[in-house]
């Protein structure tokens, strides 16, 4: 079957531009591929254009607006989700301006579609007592428990995004002074985050127990499942939720209803801010491009009292431890689905 111009350019957009040129994260690839899968479903169900017949000329401003309305009317998507799907299409159109100049006006018309305003959620975070209660739920008398303690405490202490934690290897850690972890954030931007002594001791013990300190093991996943493969986003959420549920039973006031791995990142940022750490330092620790992103924490909590990063550290570690289903009948949909894995 002959490849359409849309399929050809969409493949290049993902493989050559997003992955090759921009080096975007797996989460971005997953989100964008889901957005285009939804677009293909819309065109099939509502416009009667099958994926194997879809051409660039079909991707017009009117089509995109109808798609966005369909998301909200039929799929009950929020304004925020609608904007997320639009962002994927706009990224494609930005790319196509340079790949298909004869349709430049068509792509610019789509780029002119405005995002919808939506109510921004307040920052959800755990207090210091909430973090302590969470970590206290983790059993340290089992190998799995010791792994979970190292994982969750590092997720909090480093302020890492979940994908950044997933991608860590033993080589990412420097456990001799000055101790730090090297994280690769959005766009593969590298940043170095200092680690405190208690966290270093915990990681060193974890690595020794799992033989990750041996030569030849430094490129293996730092945190892995029973098959030796690196954990997934959903796997880390499952681990965290198990301990969150136990902590909530003990003290519902300290543990809000909606907690995710990203909540630990928010929590670290808030605790740094409350300890008086400058927003510029918090921005660098979190890997934000703009300080405006970091300012959400200042708006959420105005307590800025103490001295610097060292004064912000509180030992949280216990003292006694040293796919969605898309339609399958067309190749382009299958390819997009595989990209989102």
Q: Which of 50, 26, 35 is nearest to 92 (CA)?
A: 35
Claim to verify: residue 93 and residue 134 sit in the same structural domain: no
Task: Specify the CATH number for the domain of residue 220.
Answer: 1.10.443.10
Task: Specify the CATH number for the domain of residue 88.
Answer: 1.10.150
Asked whether residue 245 carries a pLDDT value surpassing 50, the answer given is: yes
Q: Looking at the domain assignment, is residue 60 inside a domain?
A: yes
Give the single-character DSSP code of 335.
H
Claim to verify: residue 144 and residue 251 sit in the same structural domain: yes
Q: Looking at the domain assignment, is residue 182 inside a domain?
A: yes
Determine contact, residues 337/323, Cβ cutoff 8 Å: yes
Q: Looking at the domain assignment, is residue 323 inside a domain?
A: no
Asked whether residue 274 carries a pLDDT value surpassing 70, the answer given is: yes
Give the single-character DSSP code of 166.
H
List b or e across 10-28, with b for residues whose CB sees 16 or more CB atoms inside 10 angstroms: beebbeebbeeeeebbeeb
Claim to verify: residue 31 and residue 160 sit in the same structural domain: no
Determine contact, residues 181/268, Cβ cutoff 8 Å: no
Selected residue with higher pLDDT from 322 and 64: 64
pLDDT at 124: 84
pLDDT at 308: 45
Q: Which of 79, 112, 145 is the last residue of a domain?
A: 112
Of 66-80, 196-210, 294-308, least confident by mean pLDDT is: 294-308
Tell me what the mean pLDDT of segment 194-201 comes to: 92
pLDDT one-digit tens code per residue, 150-165: 999 999 999 999 999 9
pLDDT at 73: 95
Q: Looking at the domain assignment, is residue 340 inside a domain?
A: no
The rounded distance, in Å, linking the Cα atoms of 162 and 236 is: 8
Claim to verify: residue 164 and residue 295 sit in the same structural domain: yes
pLDDT at 95: 96
Asked whether residue 249 carries a pLDDT value surpassing 50, the answer given is: yes
Q: Which of 112, 137, 163 is the last residue of a domain?
A: 112
Selected residue with higher pLDDT from 338 and 64: 64
pLDDT at 325: 42
pLDDT bucket at 263, cuts 50 / 70 / 90: very high
Selected residue with higher pLDDT from 62 and 299: 62
Backbone angles phi, psi at 230, to 5 degrees: -65, 150
Q: Looking at the domain assignment, is residue 118 inside a domain?
A: no
Whether the full predicted model's pTM is greater than 0.95, yes or no, is no
pLDDT bucket at 145, cuts 50 / 70 / 90: very high
pLDDT one-digit tens code per residue, 1-29: 678 999 999 999 999 999 888 888 787 89
pLDDT one-digit tens code per residue, 126-139: 999 999 999 999 99
Q: Which of 83, 112, 141 is the last residue of a domain?
A: 112
Cα distances (angstroms) measured from residue 166 to each of 151, 172, 301:
10, 11, 29
Structure tokens at 266: 């928010």
Query: DSSP characters for 278-318?
Result: -HHHHHHHHT-SSHHHHHHHHHH-----S-SHHHH----S-
Give the list of residues 6+ apart from residue 296 with CB closer than 8 angstroms, or none.
123
The rounded distance, in Å, linking the Cα atoms of 122 and 267 is: 13
Structure tokens at 60: 């017009």
Claim to verify: residue 141 and residue 287 sit in the same structural domain: yes
Claim to verify: residue 148 and residue 103 sit in the same structural domain: no
pLDDT bucket at 304, cuts 50 / 70 / 90: very low
Claim to verify: residue 25 and residue 136 sit in the same structural domain: no
Tell me what the mean pLDDT of segment 83-111 comes to: 96
Determine contact, residues 32/91, Cβ cutoff 8 Å: yes
pLDDT bucket at 255, cuts 50 / 70 / 90: very high
Backbone angles phi, psi at 192, to 5 degrees: -115, 125
Counted domains in the chain: 2
pLDDT at 216: 84
Instruction: Give me the residue label for tokens 């607006």.
Output: 65
Structure tokens at 96: 């196509």
pLDDT at 169: 95
The rounded distance, in Å, linking the Cα atoms of 28 and 19 is: 10
Mean pLDDT, the chain, whole residue set:
86
Claim to verify: residue 240 and residue 140 sit in the same structural domain: yes
Claim to verify: residue 297 and residue 245 sit in the same structural domain: yes
Structure tokens at 137: 């739920």
pLDDT at 150: 96
Taken in order 251, 263, 89, 41, the sign of the CA dihedral is negative
Q: Looking at the domain assignment, is residue 13 inside a domain?
A: yes
Q: Looking at the domain assignment, is residue 271 inside a domain?
A: yes
Determine contact, residues 287/165, Cβ cutoff 8 Å: no
pLDDT at 141: 92
Claim to verify: residue 161 and residue 259 sit in the same structural domain: yes
Structure tokens at 86: 């639009």
Claim to verify: residue 138 and residue 63 sit in the same structural domain: no
The rounded distance, in Å, linking the Cα atoms of 248 and 133 is: 9
The percentage of residues in the chain with a pLDDT greater than 70, rounded to a whole number, is 85
Q: Looking at the domain assignment, is residue 311 inside a domain?
A: no
3 state DSSP class of 180: strand
Claim to verify: residue 176 and residue 132 sit in the same structural domain: yes
Q: Which residues pair with 230 in a beta bridge?
A: 224
For 83, the domain range is 5-112
């Amino acid at each position: 079957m002959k490849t359409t111009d849309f399929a050809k350019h969409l493949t290049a957009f993902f493989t050559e531009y997003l992955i090759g040129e921009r080096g975007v994260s797996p989460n971005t690839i997953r989100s964008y591929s889901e957005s285009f899968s939804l677009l293909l479903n819309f065109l099939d169900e509502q416009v009667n254009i099958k994926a194997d017949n879809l051409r660039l000329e079909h991707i017009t401003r009117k089509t995109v607006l109808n798609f966005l309305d369909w998301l909200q009317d039929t799929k009950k998507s929020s304004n925020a989700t609608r904007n997320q799907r639009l962002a994927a299409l706009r990224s494609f159109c930005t790319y196509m301006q340079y790949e298909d100049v004869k349709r430049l006006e068509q792509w610019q018309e789509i780029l002119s579609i405005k995002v919808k305003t939506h109510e921004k959620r307040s920052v959800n975070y755990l207090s210091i007592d909430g973090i302590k209660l969470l970590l206290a739920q983790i059993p340290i008398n089992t190998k799995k428990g010791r792994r979970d303690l190292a994982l969750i405490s590092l997720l909090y202490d480093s302020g890492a995004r979940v994908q950044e934690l997933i991608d860590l290897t033993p080589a990412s850690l420097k456990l001799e002074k000055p101790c730090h972890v090297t994280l690769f954030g959005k766009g593969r931007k590298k940043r170095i985050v200092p680690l405190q002594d208690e966290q270093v001791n915990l990681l060193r013990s974890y690595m020794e127990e799992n033989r990750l300190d041996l030569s030849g093991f430094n490129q293996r996943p730092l945190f892995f499942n029973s098959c030796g493969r690196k954990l997934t986003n959903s796997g880390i959420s499952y681990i965290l939720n198990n301990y969150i549920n136990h902590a909530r039973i003990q003290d519902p006031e300290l543990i809000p209803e909606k907690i995710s791995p990203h909540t630990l990142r928010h929590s670290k940022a808030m605790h740094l801010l409350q300890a008086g750490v400058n927003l510029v330092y918090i921005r660098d620790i979190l890997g934000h491009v703009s300080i405006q992103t970091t300012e959400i924490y200042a708006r959420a909590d105005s307590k800025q009292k103490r001295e610097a990063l060292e004064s912000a550290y509180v030992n949280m570690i216990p003292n006694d431890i040293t796919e969605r289903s898309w339609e399958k009948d067309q190749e382009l949909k299958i390819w997009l689905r595989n990209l989102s894995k």
